[in-house]
Structure 1
């Protein structure tokens, strides 16, 4: 079983379904990760959210200390609380900036790599807050610092969500940029205040539901307009005769067909429906402005009028 799949399975529980199933949120995080990777490494990478783990502030502080962790100044207790980069990311970025191979930086001091990663961490924070605006707006002069330098930056009991985003070769290549140094794929660890992320996810779902409802109503209205402007065939019928096929086959020119029950000038107005031709009103034949015309003498059939009213 791949490590990515194992991470996804382990992270399946403990998260609200509203948050877990908010595809636009996770898609936005992945897009932000890809934009960041392109800017930092000048290479096309694919980003994928592989893990979402609820943590306390105390646990988060411990996890962040295992990597190159950063928090933002000015400090906020909502939204994005911290980001952490791994050694693979740090070494690869340093190698690019110094124009060296990643293996040449294998023994680099941790402090050196941390200082090198200040700029990528700041760029990542900007991308994330732009993609997922769940906290206060960032001033242009914000900075990122080591959480260890601010011992009270996390409340031990606060509820956080750690989101792990892994970067891989775009298109699934096996001999590309990521394997040049023989290291594992870079990972971004993002720490969010859970309540902020929950509110944002709920807001996204609410907007999506409203848009769907509006689109549905608009679609129905457009359909209604199209149906109201469509045409229907109307026939003015003097009489209907029922004859056998044999009788019809013997019709001759000049033959007279008797219409004993027809009143002079009285016709039925018939409409073509899904159920065939239906008489919907009675009418008199006459003239109007020098042309043949019909004058309705009875109301439209109630069932037919009701169907039109419901369109």
Structure 2
């Protein structure tokens, strides 16, 4: 794909890679089909949703995958619809091309900001810091470890939201919503289905492993507590709210315990360059969250007892 010139398919600024949405999506689909990958959406909108749900493209402030922006350099300018990516997703530790010497300005009705690119990005080791990224997430240490390639994204497809849950799932879901543990579980299920919570991604707090669902602690519970401040209503002022939620989740008894009776499991992460560990709960019934469970995350391995 040509970069940073009239007729190009993308523009690299200091903090983002802007890819012309239709051009890149058509090429991506053609490549996947050439690799005999099945189930590729024929609609570009569906592809955008897949990219967005796995955290591969950045969302607009309105939560959309597509940005509208004006590219300008000297006397030349043109408006495009873009997918916006983090450059580290593409180049990782490699040297990046020089940044665009012009500007990419987001349309006023999209979000009133400019993305000037006066200088090339500094050489980095591939480790990128992210604001608001939980420090307990080992994979947040390196953007380039985005769990493989775009091919992996389609292999780790999201579940179909129209799949009906089983009778056992319905039985658990009928528990009172004022049960704090069940309210948390409902939030997780809804977050997965509306793509607010991503799975099997470097930033994800939910993974599939050994045919089961792995809920990362404390990250997932901390996010819930951040979205619902004061959720405990001062029930236990000695305990942090996320721990209070986690305690009520355990009372549901929907998680598997280890042979030694402990609740928390450990997963080994093996990315292209880094190894790390995640701790969390292993659900006993996947149908509590999924109609069709995605394939296991190939980069995670459950620690033996």
The two structures have a TM-score, normalised by structure 2, of: 0.25
Higher strand share: 1
The two structures have a TM-score, normalised by structure 1, of: 0.25
Which structure would you say has the larger Rg?
A: 1
Q: Select the structure with the greater relative contact order (CA < 8 A; seq sep ≥ 6).
A: 1
Higher helix share: 1
